[in-house]
A and B are shown apart, each in its own frame.
Chain A
């Protein structure tokens, strides 16, 4: 009798891969807005996988930062630029063929090496309660320097984005 969380894993993994495929090669629509919407769905089902892996804080961050902030910026820019001309173009057959070949090659390589090397009977470690607390402790005690550098990086990215999009750059 399979457990409920096992079924949940298969459902979420299938949804993630389905939505991921519809993000990159949707047969019904070539609009980047559709792709962005399916990318939001991919990210949300991946947050479900994070919950199954007991990474509750990262699941929340994934939904807030990726599905919330990053994808809103994506949609904002796509709609701002009004890319009507691109939607009428068809898929480039050679590009799709080469892309499919390279994707199959890398998927085959990775899956074969995973099946060969990872022992099948891996069981999840028993983590203590309050993993978010432990994560915060780790983040602010042993990884405090990269954390602070990250804040500088975000500032640089913000200033850079504003400068690059300025109308007349001097």
Chain B
């Protein structure tokens, strides 16, 4: 084993690799426009720094790029739409080219949205690109967040950027809601109607908040212009500002990388910004934009002309928000009505308030503080630039999946009516089942995920110690059959053995020197409990001596085949062996 490393240190360059700061000497002096600019801005220094900036490569790093590019597409098409959209709730009579609505009284906002869809050439395409890009923006933000969470990329020094991203994702949802409410069609108007109900559910100040937000009684004429200024000015300004900070921090911290041969916590291995990442990332903007345009060309989204103008009296079956608000809508469908009560004549709408006004801030706060909780439990003050494989952080991965399962239950609940219709089920049964699942699914998902992670870790161990299964069966002279395992190369093996494996913290003595419970000791006890929760079930990575022992076992194996697969377990770590055995017991 040791011979492998003698040839080349971990982060040494191979023949043909270049050191980041060593680049082709300039053959041409800076002149022309570039020279004129540099005389005034001195940008050449920055250019050489930026051009050699290294980005590691992995498909999952693309998810954040999709979010970034779809946001840019939204900004671009949104600017177009403002040229024709009229953010006004004034009532007008429609006389545009869409025949079924001619002569109908509607708001100017709805009339102008119909105009964009039917009378502005290419307007429908721009509207559809805007809506599709918004949907893709929010989904890519969420998936990007999941990637960052499950790979532990939020760890020091990136906690601030995780918080920025958390705020960005919340803003993205609110921005989307404000946007799809603007056309003032029957569906979005019903959404605003429900929003008014949410606001009114706030204890003490709810009614006043409703009158403040709507500028008087619901719906009034103020909400459309107010949502408009929030949608095109306030929220985008914060979004773009935070997004810029988000990207700058990625530059500052340098991107994380997945573990691999030659990749360490102190380097970043990848391709330079110029030309490879300019071409790949720049090209990817065109791919994202192009795909959104292709979808918008052939798939209708939000056909507002089919819904009609907003009127509080009519309604359509299957009224649902855009997908990213689905989980909140689902929470409202699951909360049972009996939670509402009155004290001294005041109404506590606990059947609405927790699912509407509390859910979003609460959920995003939990997401935002997670890195600090985990850092406190591990007590890890080091910087982390190498990503975790999700299996190597079983408890974190399980927490994440448990959270996602909760989210999915709420999300499914938002479609309980459609499920009932399409699947011919009772809506009451579906709702009751989901109510139970909301509490049952997370712990079950947690347990299953953690077991899968531990099993995958054990599979990694086995692969390291006994090699890869080749599928070749040998028949020995004595009639025995054996599958041949091919040993892993050091490069293949490294990804499976490189990770750190925490051990649960020991319970410290709970008393101070005088035998009194000290607050510090209490805090430490709590930390030990958490540490135990996180790291109790532990499969340590294989070590060179275990590999050595496994080779011995293999030799012994040939003599005594009854040995079975007990040899997977490390010979020395008896404590760990017990854990694994306990895991294997049924139930």
A binds B: no
**Which B residues contact A (CB, under 8 angstroms)?**
none
Please report A residues at the B interface, Cβ cutoff 8 Å.
Answer: none
